[in-house]
Amino acid sequence: MSIAHDRRVMVAMSGGVDSSVAAALLVEDGFDVVGVTLRLWGGESDSGCCAVSDVEDARRVAQQLDIDHHVFNLADEFTQHVVQPYVDDHAAGRTPNPCIECNRHLKFDRLLNRARALGFERVATGHHARVVTLGDGTHRLARGADAAKDQSYVLYMLNQEALGRVTFPVGDMTKDQVRARATELGLRTADKPDSQDVCFITSASGRQGFLTQRVELHPGRLVDTSGEEVGSVEAVELVTVGQRRGLGLSGSGEYRFAVAVDVPSRTVTVGTLDELEVATTTVRQLEWTDQPVTGAFAVQASAHGTPVPANLVSAEDGSLEVRWGTPVRRIAPGQSLVFYDQGPHGEVVVGGGVAT
């Protein structure tokens, strides 16, 4: 782990074991550490990193480490940049990724700005990723040492300015090593389960219950690729491109998947696996680690997906066309595609964007 000469580091402490150990490692290395927890969601939460208990866990760990701890209330920004877009995307038939938007707008925008205003040039988090520096002095986001826990996919928006100010102390550790270190240090979060799912969706209400309170859901019809009606769905806004289960088509022969969602016409088109596959995907809202790139790269389509070879081709309208080496399942509109390059530090992120 390498950190710039500045010895003051603000650590984002979510109340989980990774950020707890990140803070502990920095303290051990002699840095002037202050812990902060972001209060993001004011509603019900029983999972993820938004529960009241998570704030208390972070505070108690900070006490154990003998560092100051503060809570930043960013609930309004969280609603504006994460929750409302999540609702709007479903209403438009897109499949959002709220964790990416939280990183983009809150953890690596608002928090970085707040840290600088308070005199901290460096911010640390418990993400499983690494920041590496190339021979020309530019930074890259590399995969974490634990392939199963790597979080580089959800951090693809980090540019040179951000990468020069963030550090991931547990990025060189496996999850087992992190937990072992937490146990050794006696941290109360050592055995705490990893956060799961969307933090503002409770297990009791689920996604449908959450959205029902915020947007009107509409029944829709299922049609095959020839236009013939083959069934119906309770809420067209809840269907994701690529979905098979929950469409009421089991037992009707060959598996069929949602290949398109048209909310205005209340129509979901279903097709076979062959009809689900595509040779190209258009990507917009592009963000680059350094300079825009084209050519041959590996492209990952989900947080724990497997990167596949593709060719990136720029379009005149500013979008990017991903030409897959072999056909892949259609990417749900709203999902991020992240581009990786192979280098001396392993796979590194060069950019990413949102599928249309």
Interatomic CA distance for residues 260 and 353, integer angstroms:
20
Which is catalytic among the residues 49, 50, 99, 102?
A: 102
Interatomic CA distance for residues 149 and 151, integer angstroms:
6
Neighbours of 273 (CB within 10 A): 13
66 Cβ contact partners less than 8 Å away, ≥ 6 residues apart? 27
8 Å CB contact between 350 and 293: yes
Is the CA virtual torsion 200, 205, 208, 213 positive or negative?
Answer: negative
52 Cβ contact partners less than 8 Å away, ≥ 6 residues apart? none
Number of residues that this document lists for the chain: 356
Residue with tokens 């491109």: 241
Active site residue 102: yes
Active site residue 49: no
Q: What angle do CA 24, 55, 100 make, to 5 degrees?
A: 85
Taking the chain, what is the end-to-end CA distance rounded to the nearest angstrom?
A: 38
Interatomic CA distance for residues 294 and 13, integer angstroms:
37
Kindly provide the residue ranges of all beta strands, DSSP E only, lying in 57-148, ordered along the sequence: 68-73, 122-124, 129-133, 139-143
* Catalytic residue positions, numbered: 102, 199
